[in-house]
Chains A and B, each alone.
Chain A
Amino acid sequence: MAITTAPKLTRRPTPADSTFRYMCLGAGVLVLIVLGLITYTMTTKSWDAVSHMGLSFFTDKHWDIANQHYGALSYIFGTLYSATIAILLAVPLSLGIALFTTQVAPLWLKRPITYLIDLLAVVPSVVWGLWGALVLAAPIRTFFNHIHDIFKDVPVLGTIFGAAQGKSFSTAGIILAVMIIPIITSLSREVMETVPPTDREGALALGATRWEMIKGTVLPHSRTGIIGAVMLGLGRAMGETIAAALVIGGAAQISSNAFASGDSLPAVIANQWSEADTLQKSALIGLAMTLFAMTLIVNLIANSVVNRSERRRAV
């Protein structure tokens, strides 16, 4: 507790009291220990492969198991590309949902919407993956090819919307987007709910329409929180394994074509682990270390941003 000036009114701690206190402290410390051990084990266990390849482990795009040549770049690219597509799709939808729930919907409708959107998070990722691979992949290829036909002669868009595969960066992006919508929505909703009612009513009283009120008061007020929410979503999208493993296509390539098959760091680990020899396992742990570092950076920034916006609100 923060009280420092008030006299201590609690009884002197008994042995049982101290024991309980240390148990609680221990559980808190466990978090630090686990994070520290993850860093330590990932680094040491991947050392064989990373020292075998040198720095080219991160900069080489060839992953050649037969020749024991392990370059992670195309997987790093695939992770970032599919996560970017997911963010581009998920952010407008999530903000739309959050704004609708907090600013537009009548009171009685708020809770049902929240529950329904949370259902997206209840469906396990392996079920999304199963659906994506066996049901979505075929029709989405036709759909992607329609987009390809429209844009194929346009200079830049033609290379982004290239010839389509059913399992591709975009298929993974769509599935990942659905999976991160709940977290971005709920965090943005929380910050939007803290917009002072006087600000909103003031804007409306000045004759602003509802949308102008949102643009003028709600969005500026919750900008930091929304950025934090989006970054947390990005971290989730990068680390999501099974759904990506089932729908991204399993092709190690760097291509600007969003409709081409690719592969992501977690998907490679999941798909290659069972048949890997010792050095390859070490290389796969190297991929996990890379992924851990990437998500850690994103999460550290995201949590700092969220904390800062919370502190500003508390003042």
Chain B
Amino acid sequence: MAATTRISGIGGGGQPATRTVAPDLRAQKSWRRTKSGIMQWLMGASIVVALLPVIFVVITVIGKGASSVFTGFPKFLTAAIPNQERKVGPGMGPAVVGTLLITALATAIAVPLGILGAVYLHEYGGRSPFAKVVRFLSNVMTGVPSIVMGLFIYVIFTLNFGYSGLGGALALAFLMLPIIIRSVEVMLKLVPTSLREASYALGTSKSRTVLTVVLPSALPGVISGCLLAVARAAGETAPLLFTIFTVNQTNRNVFSGANTTLSRQIFSNALSSLSGAQGRAWGAALTLLAIAFLFTIIARIASARFSAKR
């Protein structure tokens, strides 16, 4: 063993005066060290293995989607979807409009509710039993499959009011809600209690303290959490199958009539064997990926500024 050889190297001999060369205290080669090295290499390798698929996907989507998107730019992003799958060429206009409108509406519903919910959990509920139940079930709600959420909205909303962008937005909003609650609560925890106390000391009411002191100081973190939720919602497909149906013409009215999104179009075109439809699917995938990455990058910048400020 390495340790024993080292010790005998130091203590052995019995004639320290004659020693001129310092003992070699560096780790000896042994199977234990080799094994440790192998395990560390495997850990590093697992990062590479996990990243390979995402690299492949991004390269493929850019390679196959760029020609669709950039031929006669920006026609792909504005032109209507061809009525026949076998038609080659643009576009995805209605889907771009639908994605932006429905995601925006979902954000407008989910963000205020999510922030209020998080404020309840952290500022009012705290460790009370009821708040614990809400917190626990909110975490459980994060795991509700998106398709179940879609069917839920179908049953309570779409069956009564028909297909509309609003139905899709509701489903997305309920998927975003627990994510936002969780991330905002984490951010509220980071706000120092002394800030709240200072505000109370000035005679400020609790609601004013929350709205004008606590939330503003947590703002970049809150924005970052919300944007990550938005990036996820923009790519959701399953809940939209039941709530917005699909159309080939632009529908700017999110509150009534069938609508369509990029994700919905990718799903239906991916099942097609025709090159025209597949080309549009790749183009839509590139557009969607760009939107998702954009939101994520902005969120990262916001959170980096937030942590730099702390």
Contacts and interface: CB of A to CB of B under 8 A. Distances in A.
Contacts of B60: 131, 135
A31 B138 contact: yes
Interface stretch (A63-71, A151-159, A252-260, A284-292): A284-292
Contact of A1 (B56, B126, B146): B126
Interface residues of A, number: 95
Contacts of B205: 10-11, 13-14, 16-17
Q: Is the interface of B mostly helix, strand, loop or mixed?
A: helix
Contacts of A24: 116-117, 119-120, 123-124
Pick the most buried of A99, A122, A135: most chain B CB atoms within 10 A of its CB. A122
A100 B39 CA distance: 10
A303 interface: yes
Interface stretch (B16-24, B79-87, B235-243, B251-259): B235-243
B161 interface: no
Contact of B49 (A2, A45, A93, A209): A93
A24 B61 CA distance: 42
Interface string A112-150: 010111111111111111110111000000000000000
Most buried by B among A41, A124, A241, A296: A124
Contacts of B151: 42, 269, 284-285, 288
Nearest to B293: A122
B181 A126 contact: no
Contacts of B226: none
Contact-residue size bin, chain B (C-beta under 8 Å from the other chain): 35 or more
Most buried by A among B152, B200, B210: B152
B156 A37 contact: yes
Interface string B113-127: 110110111011111
B143 interface: yes
Contacts of B138: 28, 31
A238 B292 CA distance: 23
A23 interface: yes
Contacts of A194: none
A112 to B, nearest CB: 10
Interface string B190-217: 0000000000110111111011000000
A238 B145 contact: yes
Interface in A46-62: none
Interface in A1-17: 1-2, 9-11, 13-14, 16-17
A313 interface: no
A272 B310 CA distance: 51
A288 B147 contact: yes
A211 B36 contact: yes
Contact of A20 (B141, B200, B210): B210
Contact of A17 (B139, B206, B232): B206
Contact of A239 (B144, B236, B241): B144
A21 B119 CA distance: 9
A26 interface: yes
A291 B57 contact: no
A295 B140 CA distance: 9
Contacts of B237: 124-126, 241-242
B244 interface: no
Given A133-B270, A134-B278, A31 B207 contact: no
Nearest to B134: A28
14 contacts: A10-B206, A37-B156, A113-B47, A119-B51, A131-B57, A135-B56, A209-B33, A239-B144, A245-B267, A246-B267, A269-B147, A296-B143, A299-B142, A303-B140
Interface of A: 1-2, 9-11, 13-14, 16-17, 19-21, 23-32, 34-35, 37-38, 41-42, 45, 92-94, 96-97, 99-100, 104, 113, 115-131, 133-135, 178, 181, 207, 209-212, 214, 232, 235-236, 238-242, 245-246, 266, 269-270, 273-274, 284-285, 288, 291-292, 295-296, 298-300, 302-303, 306-307
Given A2-B126, A120-B50, A131-B61, 6 more contacts: A17-B206, A27-B116, A93-B49, A134-B270, A212-B32, A288-B148
